[in-house]
Structure 1
Amino acid sequence: MSGCQGCRQPDTNFDLAMAFQPIVDIETGRAWAYEALVRGPNGEDAGQVLAAVTEANRYAFDQQCRVAAITQAVAAGIVETGARLSINFLPNAVYSPVACIQLTLKTAAAVGLPTDRLVFEFTENEEFADTAHVANIIDTYRRMGFATALDDFGAGHAGLSLLARLQTDIVKLDMELVRDIDTSQPRRMIVEGLIAMFARMNIVVVAEGIETTAEYETLRALGVRYMQGYLLARPGFRILPPHALPEPASIGQVA
């Protein structure tokens, strides 16, 4: 690891806390995964924390986020739930996929979180300096038994062209595709087409940003099994918050 560019960056200590939001399997009603969302030590929002991240300290930030996510999720009880832990990471902060994962592996082993329950997600809103390098990270993580997720699909720098080069295990539909999908025929048609395409590619679809029962019902009718959003549960600061599906009486009444 001595030759890793990240390891030569100056040390920066971030005082990080995590909030956890469930990704719910609507067929079982259980949390399929919990996404770890970075916060300040007193619950400050992600924007305030990310404002302190620079090119010089992003490696330290990425590494410390992974440690905080794993240790705080285990402290909150994730091991007993059987759910996965989805950790946001910065591909541009990973200089060597094998070297840069070592602290993550050590931390998971120390707190008893099986590494096959780790999901690493990145957003297409981040502009990549080297797409081939990101593809190598995804391939390396897959060989090591981790799942990867492309967040905010449908927004940002690419979209389908990025997916053609970076095929992750999971794709999370951006909330702009979800918002008002019950009243927007174009959104329904786009999401329906994406679901069919992802099924052929063996990619799991997660719909995020769900805020209304009508959105939930429409997505359910389209075949989306995994959902995330305020309708089901808001993020819990340092805890795994309870979640709930809409009342059964409303299911099936899709506009």
Structure 2
Amino acid sequence: MDFPESVKMQTCQDCLSGQDLGFEIRMAFQPIVDIEKQCIIAYEALVRGPEGQGAGWVFERINDDNRYYFDQACRVKAIETATRLRCDTLLSINFLPNAVYNPETCIQATIEAADLYGFDLTKIIFEVTEGEQIPDKAHLQNIFQTYSKRGFYTAIDDFGAGFATMDWLTDLRPDFLKLDMALIRNIEQHPGQQHEVQQALAQCLLQGTHVLAEGIESKAELDYLAGLGIRYFQGYYFARPALEELVGVNFN
């Protein structure tokens, strides 16, 4: 897609206003935990509508005309809200690779926002979801490499549910790999899911990628995956996303 110069010149203040989207966006936060250290290591910022409507409501209103602006606005809103809530952990922000025309240029609003609100850039994780159709692996690889050079962490979200194969995992070499809940659900009962997770875990171990299991809803799922050596988890078992709130976790 060809982006007009007026779009490319937008600042973080433009993105924060939300005016070009035609509606306000807000952020919910869900904790990511380290089961070994019994602590929260990060919060994932999840987009919501002005009344707290879910991500589905928001994405129904996103199209090719506002996709770039939406991606930028989400980054800025996540940083602004996390700073206001005094987030001192890592902050995981989803991004749309098809909205990034040039990673070095598109990162400027993020850097500007972090500087404006005083958020540590080295605490940001950028994660790409498998729900996004990505025809060009080289483009995504360029984004990941650029973000890594800038000091950001990178993550592949929803692994096992979309575009990413083991080849994508080895080529992109993210800092984190998030296993999709479809692989996690009742995994202790399903050898096929167990095999897929063990394969991904083995490759991640070889290349130094941290594995994070998302969508945890039961102690049985947690116990099985922790038994494989996975230490990072996210899901309703620990806490649901909370609108403009950093909820805690009870590990007992």
TM-score, normalised on structure 2? Answer: 0.90
Give the match for residue 74 of structure 2.
Answer: 65
How many aligned residue pairs are there?
A: 242
Measure the CA separation in 1 of the matches of 2:142 and 2:63.
24
* Alpha-carbon distance change, 174 to 165 in structure 1, aligned in 2, over 3 angstroms: same
SS at match of 1:53: coil
Unaligned runs of 5+ in 2: 11-18
Q: Is the 8 A contact 1:13 1:60 kept in 2?
A: no
Measure the CA separation in 2 of the matches of 1:178 and 1:160.
18
How much has 1:203 moved relative to structure 2? 0.3
* Alpha-carbon distance change, 193 to 132 in structure 1, aligned in 2, over 3 angstroms: closer
Give the match for residue 13 of structure 2.
Answer: none
Counterpart among 27, 36, 54 of residue 36 in structure 2: 27
Which string of whole-angstrom CA distances, capped at 9 and with x for unpartnered residues, describes residues 29-68 of structure 1? 1111110000012110100011110011101100100011
1:244-255 mapped onto 2 (5 Å cutoff): 244-245=250-251, 247=252
1:52 is the counterpart of 2:61: yes
Moved over 3 A (4+): 2-6, 8-14
* Alpha-carbon distance change, 43 to 77 in structure 1, aligned in 2, over 3 angstroms: same
Measure the CA separation in 2 of the matches of 1:192 and 1:89.
27
Give the match for residue 117 of structure 2.
Answer: 111
Measure the CA separation in 2 of the matches of 1:22 and 1:12.
28
1:76 is the counterpart of 2:85: yes
How much has 1:99 moved relative to structure 2? 1.1
Which has the larger displacement, 66-75 or 182-191? 182-191
How much has 1:27 moved relative to structure 2? 1.1
2:152 alignment partner AA: F
2:39 alignment partner AA: R
Percent identity, aligned pairs only?
Answer: 46
Measure the CA separation in 1 of the matches of 2:112 and 2:23.
19
Unaligned runs of 5+ in 1: 248-255
Counterpart among 161, 184, 187 of residue 167 in structure 2: 161
Give the match for residue 96 of structure 1.
Answer: 102
Counterpart among 100, 123, 127 of residue 121 in structure 1: 127
Which string of whole-angstrom CA distances, capped at 9 and with x for unpartnered residues, describes residues 72-98 of structure 1? 11111203xxx1000000001011111
1:133 is the counterpart of 2:139: yes
Counterpart among 233, 245, 249 of residue 239 in structure 1: 245
Q: Is the 8 A contact 1:14 1:61 kept in 2?
A: no
TM-score, normalised on structure 1? Answer: 0.89
